Amino acid sequence: MSLRPTRFPAVSRRLHWLMAAMVLTMLFLGVGMAASVSERYRFLVAIHRPLGLAVLLLAAVRLVNRLFNPPPALPDALPPWQRIAAKASHVLLYALMFLMPLLGWGMLSAAPYPIVIYGSLHLPAILPRDPTLYAWLRQLHTDFAYLLFAVFLVHLGAALMHGLIRRDGVFKSMV
């Protein structure tokens, strides 16, 4: 079996693990928010908004970094359907790292409140105030969170398959 010869550049690896921790935290914060009321809800949402904004900014940094530091080639022995699945899931993960924060920002723009990031630091509205639009985006924020979690589980399964079964250097290239 051929091995993946090189690793992801150090900056790509650092960004990957930092963002993996942030995105998973965001998912669990969201679930925690949905299950909380009053003080705990306010505490969790006060972390969710700035952390989500940081995900959006880092996703842009990561995409630019990827242009300058392209990922290493996959091992030659990898079947074509797994290459396609890897590519498709990575595109989806990148898309969701942009879409989730933008949906959060967009839905709060459509709601009749300021978008507080920290103290008096507010985000500008990116969409018009409209209760129907808010309801629509709020639902989409939930649906895409489920999609993100599902793609993450597939991604985790694939990473473990490479690391424990195929042992083809793909897992090592990211650690």
Residue 166 within binding range of ligand HEM, rule CB under 6 A: no
Shortest distance (Å) from residue 81 CB to ligand HEM: 14
Residue 48 within binding range of ligand HEM, rule CB under 6 A: yes
Crossing angle of the two packed helices 10-34 and 131-160, in degrees rounded to 10:
130
C-alpha distances in angstroms, 169 versus 20, 77, 159, 163? 20, 12, 10, 7
Distance of CA 17 to the CA centre of its chain: 11
Shortest distance (Å) from residue 170 CB to ligand HEM: 5
Judged by CB under 6 A, which of 14, 122, 142, 150 binds ligand HEM? 142
Structure tokens at 64: 């630019």
Residue 54 within binding range of ligand HEM, rule CB under 6 A: no
What's the rounded Cα separation, in Å, for the pair 134 and 100?
14
Residue 75 within binding range of ligand HEM, rule CB under 6 A: no
Residue 31 within binding range of ligand HEM, rule CB under 6 A: yes
Judged by CB under 6 A, which of 1, 11, 18, 24 binds ligand HEM? 24
Structure tokens at 26: 């965001």
Residue 99 within binding range of ligand HEM, rule CB under 6 A: no
Residue 133 within binding range of ligand HEM, rule CB under 6 A: no
In order, the DSSP letters of 63-128 are HHHHHHSPPPPPPTTS-HHHHHHHHHHHHHHHHHHHHHHHHHHHHHHHTTS-EEEETTEEEPPSS-
Judged by CB under 6 A, which of 7, 71, 85, 125 binds ligand HEM? 71
Between 33 and 125, CB nearer to ligand HEM: 33
DSSP letter at 60?
H
Structure tokens at 150: 């599902």
By the criterion CB under 6 A, which residues form the site for ligand HEM?
A: 16, 19-20, 23-24, 26-27, 30-31, 33-34, 45, 48-49, 52-53, 55, 66, 71, 74, 86, 90, 93-94, 97, 100-101, 104-105, 108, 115, 138, 141-142, 145, 148, 152, 155-156, 159, 170-171, 173-174
